[in-house]
Amino acid sequence: MTMLLYSSLLFMVLVVGSPYWLVRMLTSGRYRAGLAGRLGRVPTTLQEGIAGRQVVWVHAVSVGELLAATRLVGELEAALGDGWRVVISTTTATGQALARERFGAERVFFYPLDFGWAVRAYLRALRPRLLVLMESELWPRMLTECERAGVPVAVVNARVSDRSFARGVRVRTIWGALLWRVTLFLTQSAADAQRLVAIGAHADKVRVAGNLKYDVRAPKRSRVAELIHEAAAGRRIVVAGSTVEGKPSHEEELVMQAMALVWNELPDVLFVLAPRHPDRFSYAYSLAAEFGVTSATELIGGKKVPTTARRTILLDTIGDLAAVYELANVAFVGGSLVKRGGHNPLEPAQFGVPVVMGGSYENFREIVETMRAEDAVRIVSAEELGPMLLELLTNSAEAQALGERGRRVFASKAGATERVVTELMELLR
């Protein structure tokens, strides 16, 4: 009865919202991409690729979750051996593009919308022995259909944000009914494990495995990073990664204001701006035009970056940010000056690059608080960002020490992938 009500409400949302979604699909590739697959049409290449093999299905919503899953997929495949195939789904188009680049298009697909027919189509086609969900992607129909089909579900790198916890406590009975359908939770931290139990998960299904994002491998060589390195021509580089929209100001505006202050003192600094979502590229390009801007796409096309002062490169490609972070003298990690929960500071910290963030970092609370305890990150307001960038650019000893402490934090927390693979193999026995 509960699932019937849920399905009816979901269908009503689809019908009522269909004019809006139709317009978005016609005007934005972000919403149009993979629609047939999302509605239950299983790609032929996917079915051909799993023929005669047992399947593990790994789902990663977008780029961040996919980066955390990359090493896990490789080590899980090594443990499984011949006769198995790990397939990967994503929700976002950016995640899909990166997954196809990392794993090959033949085993990557869009996660189905949470309608019974769409979910069942994939479960029938894949017949997975295990569904692995990265972090916190729980959909009622998917969990229900997996339970009916006898497919165990593991939530890996599980976390409970402040907002989710507050909501979960208020509706514990409803959350509990959902969480009970999960076979195993492998959490990032003890605090996440405690929160899961508090909002209704069975304590015997919750285990602490650590954070897979400490195990993210250094990126492969990137042509874009090489071109930016050439364009820098020895100049110092500031990278602002994963910037997002916000209120009252968008994060791109805030970091450009900070860079204007930096350029007043150090006009030769090269600035790399990397918005989180592709639909922000054109806005960011026009915003940076006042100071002189070149896009990564233009670099690939052969355009040269002038050696003039106050120069910005817009990183408008997917999957290159980690490699570009390695070039930075200082990195700002976005989603943190506005209330969006922040992004992963380990991406630059793994290279010993000094990291600066805003005060909104609840999506990576355990990581950031560990770094703060080791004095390995600088937390600033929008007004403080420019002065902090200047300080780190002009005080090389301080910047080097800060970056080295961040690198040590990254190195000291490794090992979650091995623990997760061990737990997943137990589920498959």
Averaged pLDDT in 10-residue chunks for the chain of 429 residues: 51 47 51 82 96 97 92 97 97 94 96 96 98 93 96 96 84 87 96 94 97 84 93 96 94 98 96 95 94 93 81 94 96 97 95 98 93 98 98 98 98 94 96
pTM: 0.86
66 and 131 housed in the same domain: yes
Closest CA relative to residue 88, chosen from 118, 53, 44, 133: 133
The tally of domains found in the chain comes to 2
352 and 289 housed in the same domain: yes
Angle formed by the axes of helices 162-170 and 172-179, nearest 10°: 110
CA distance linking residue 235 with residue 228, whole number of Å = 11
The answer as to whether 18 is a domain residue is no
The answer as to whether 401 is a domain residue is yes
316 and 374 housed in the same domain: yes
233 and 186 housed in the same domain: no
The answer as to whether 382 is a domain residue is yes
Please give the residue range of the domain that contains residue 153. 29-211+415-428
Answer for the pair 345, 357: CB distance below 8 angstroms, yes or no: yes
Q: Is 265 a catalytic residue?
A: no
Predicted pLDDT of residue 309: 72
The answer as to whether 329 is a domain residue is yes
420 and 404 housed in the same domain: no
The answer as to whether 216 is a domain residue is no
85 and 199 housed in the same domain: yes
396 and 424 housed in the same domain: no
339 and 392 housed in the same domain: yes
Provide the token pair at 4. 């019937």
The answer as to whether 277 is a domain residue is yes
The answer as to whether 14 is a domain residue is no
285 and 350 housed in the same domain: yes
Provide the token pair at 381. 């307001």
Catalytic residue among 48, 65, 101, 135: 65
